[in-house]
């Protein structure tokens, strides 16, 4: 459809996802939960297949990459070491007029700096007045105006410190109001409440609340790999370079979460941390960029839907970083990140745990903290990429319309539908017989309700790549028609050859061969 806007298209994809059992809003009967979604009967299959394809491509196809499955709960110190506790724990306040958001502590500190500047000015004035005989120390401890300002600073500091310690955000707001701090943009004092935006969800470990300690739901899976670096390296006798892969849920308390499953509070990551010798990071960085792009391209979508986006402003842990972006209906957006994380994580875990996280290099006879190249892809985003790229509204030659999901065959939720042309004359029995054989290899569906055309359309809508139709001729010569989702072409094939043909067409092997060459 050429005249459909991308906004409408995206809306249609979302309703299609719900109508055909791919994605439901979480807790919908209770009005839903914002930015949390459930995968339905078809969605969970597609998601599982994507995960499996990633896992095979990363772990099964690479001798030097192994997988783990670390717990979501981790020791709280993990997140101090990773930088998540400090970096994402700020009290924020908005100015209602300018709509600008500020860190409350920064506003107050800026105000303190202004008072501090006043003091410095007094000191400088005095210095020029008194010349060589000037004693700054004495001046600072005796001058009335300096003392008054210093007293102000101390009082504010004390008040602010207390407020933060007891977590009294109203008091923080009151400080801003009492100090008559204005917004640099609007110049007004029209402030919202001060709010704490924590990136991480926390919960209690321990059944009795008084004895319990606060732990976090992991905001990324990577740290589960880093804290197990030594365990895996030693028990697996891994030699650098080697990688550890993991898929699993992560949780982020997003301030604004939107665009369907693109940004969710609970989501699944597929990550691989590749441990290397320091100094070799740029070549490995390039290597994994190439490898990962190849993986994406192996799905057979047009090359124009992917592009690299290099990060100019780097995160605290990285010395090179880029995204593989995908052309979603709402524009190019990050799908996978490839980061050169240096020895930031392992180094910090060494510091915080007091354990040596080093690798002994037998060639050089030296130990070092390995550098890390990370590949990190959002499974839910990958799901959305495949869903939106596969979705097509078609006008057929006879004037009718169909909605079809051209999901790569080996990822499709249902691989094959078995359909008796009519619901009598022994055709259902024959179809059941075929179904019972195929189900050992693939997830298949049997359908006998409604006209054959209607059933084909239903299978198109969930992306089933093949339909096997049993008709009267089948009973005579043991042949059926196989009907292709994308072309709608039908062929007559022998019943006995169905299994072989299907396996050939839906096997993941073909795609894996493509990326391993």
Would you say how long the chain is, in residues? 517
CB of 321 to RNA, least distance (A): 7
CB of 139 to RNA, least distance (A): 41
Q: How far apart are CA 82 and CA 218, in angstroms?
A: 11
- Cα-based distances in Å from 80 to 209, 284, 491: 23, 28, 62
CB of 176 to RNA, least distance (A): 16
| Three-class DSSP category at 427 | helix
- Of the pair 100, 356, the CB lying nearest RNA is at 100
CB of 175 to RNA, least distance (A): 20
Which of these, 349, 339, 345, lies nearest to 373 by C-alpha position? 339
Q: How far apart are CA 412 and CA 157, in angstroms?
A: 60
| Three-class DSSP category at 491 | strand
Q: Buried b / exposed e across 281-319, counting CB within 10 Å, b at 16+? A: beebbebbbebbbebbebbebeeebbeeeeeeeeeebbe
Which of these, 181, 10, 36, 189, lies nearest to 109 by C-alpha position? 181
Non-local CB neighbours of 302 within 8 Å, separated by 6+ positions = none
Q: Residue with structure tokens 């993941």?
A: 508
CB of 133 to RNA, least distance (A): 50
- Of the pair 443, 488, the CB lying nearest RNA is at 488
CB of 208 to RNA, least distance (A): 30
- CB atoms closer than 10 angstroms to residue 188: 12
CB of 248 to RNA, least distance (A): 15
Q: Is the bond leading into 241 cis (omega within 30 degrees of zero)?
A: yes
- Of the pair 99, 249, the CB lying nearest RNA is at 99
CB of 483 to RNA, least distance (A): 4
Q: What would the two tokens of residue 403 be? A: 């909605």
Which of these, 338, 328, 339, 331, lies nearest to 381 by C-alpha position? 328
Q: How far apart are CA 431 and CA 309, in angstroms?
A: 50
- Of the pair 49, 268, the CB lying nearest RNA is at 268
Q: How far apart are CA 222 and CA 76, in angstroms?
A: 15
Q: Catalog residues that contact RNA under the rule CB under 7 A.
A: 7, 10, 14-15, 18-19, 25, 31-35, 84, 87-88, 94, 96, 99-101, 192, 199, 219-220, 252, 254-256, 258-260, 263, 315-317, 330, 396, 398-401, 421-424, 449-454, 456-457, 469-471, 473, 480-481, 483, 488-490
Task: Assess contact for 357 and 345: CB atoms under 8 A.
Answer: no
CB of 223 to RNA, least distance (A): 11
- Of the pair 200, 511, the CB lying nearest RNA is at 200
- Cα-based distances in Å from 447 to 404, 422, 453: 18, 10, 12
CB of 487 to RNA, least distance (A): 8
| Three-class DSSP category at 317 | coil
């Amino acid at each position: 459809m050429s005249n459909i806007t991308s906004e409408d298209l995206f809306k249609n994809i979302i309703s299609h996802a719900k109508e055909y059992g791919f994605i439901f809003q979480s807790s919908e009967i209770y009005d839903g939960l914002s930015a949390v979604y459930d995968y339905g009967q078809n969605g969970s299959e597609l998601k599982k297949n994507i995960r499996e394809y990633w896992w095979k491509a990363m772990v099964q196809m690479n001798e030097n990459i192994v997988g783990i499955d670390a717990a979501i709960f981790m020791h709280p110190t993990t997140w101090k070491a990773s930088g998540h506790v400090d970096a994402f724990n700020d009290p924020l306040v908005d100015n209602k007029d300018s709509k600008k958001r500020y860190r409350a502590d920064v506003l107050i500190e800026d105000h303190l700096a202004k008072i501090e500047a006043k003091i410095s000015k007094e000191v400088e004035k005095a210095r020029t007045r008194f010349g060589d005989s000037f004693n700054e120390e004495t001046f600072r401890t005796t001058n009335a105006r300096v003392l008054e300002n210093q007293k102000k600073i101390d009082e504010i500091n004390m008040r602010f410190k207390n407020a933060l310690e007891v977590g009294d955000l109203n008091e923080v707001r009151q400080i801003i109001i009492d100090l008559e701090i204005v917004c640099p943009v609007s110049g007004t004092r029209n402030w919202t409440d001060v709010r704490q935006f924590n990136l991480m969800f926390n919960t209690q470990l321990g059944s009795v609340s008084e004895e319990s300690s606060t732990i976090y739901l992991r905001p990324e899976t990577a740290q589960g790999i880093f804290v197990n670096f030594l365990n895996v390296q030693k028990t697996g006798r891994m030699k650098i370079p080697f990688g550890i892969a993991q898929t699993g849920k992560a949780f982020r308390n997003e301030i604004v979460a939107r665009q369907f499953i693109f940004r969710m509070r609970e989501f699944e990551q597929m990550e691989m941390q590749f441990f290397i010798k320091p100094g070799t990071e740029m070549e490995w960085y390039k290597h994994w960029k190439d490898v990962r792009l190849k993986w994406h391209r192996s799905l057979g979508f047009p090359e124009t839907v992917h592009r690299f986006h290099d990060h100019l402003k780097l995160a605290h842990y990285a010395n090179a970083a880029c995204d593989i972006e995908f052309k979603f209906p709402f524009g190019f957006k990050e799908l996978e990140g490839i980061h050169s994380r240096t020895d930031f994580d392992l180094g910090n875990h060494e510091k915080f745990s007091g354990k040596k996280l080093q690798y002994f290099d037998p060639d050089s006879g030296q130990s070092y903290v390995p550098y890390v190249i990370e590949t990190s892809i959002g499974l839910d985003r990958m799901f959305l990429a495949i869903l939106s790229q596969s979705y097509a509204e078609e006008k057929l030659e006879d004037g009718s319309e169909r909605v079809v999901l051209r999901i790569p065959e080996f990822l499709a939720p249902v691989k094959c539908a078995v359909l008796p042309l009519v619901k009598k004359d022994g055709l259902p029995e024959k179809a059941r017989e075929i179904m019972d054989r195929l189900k050992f290899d693939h997830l298949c569906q049997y359908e006998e309700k409604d006209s054959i055309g209607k059933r084909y359309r239903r299978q198109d809508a969930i992306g089933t790549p093949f339909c096997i139709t049993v008709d009267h001729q089948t009973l005579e010569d043991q042949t059926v028609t196989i009907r292709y989702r994308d072309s709608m072409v039908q062929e007559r094939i022998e019943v006995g050859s169905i299994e072989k043909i299907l396996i050939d067409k839906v096997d993941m092997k073909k795609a894996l061969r493509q990326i391993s060459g």
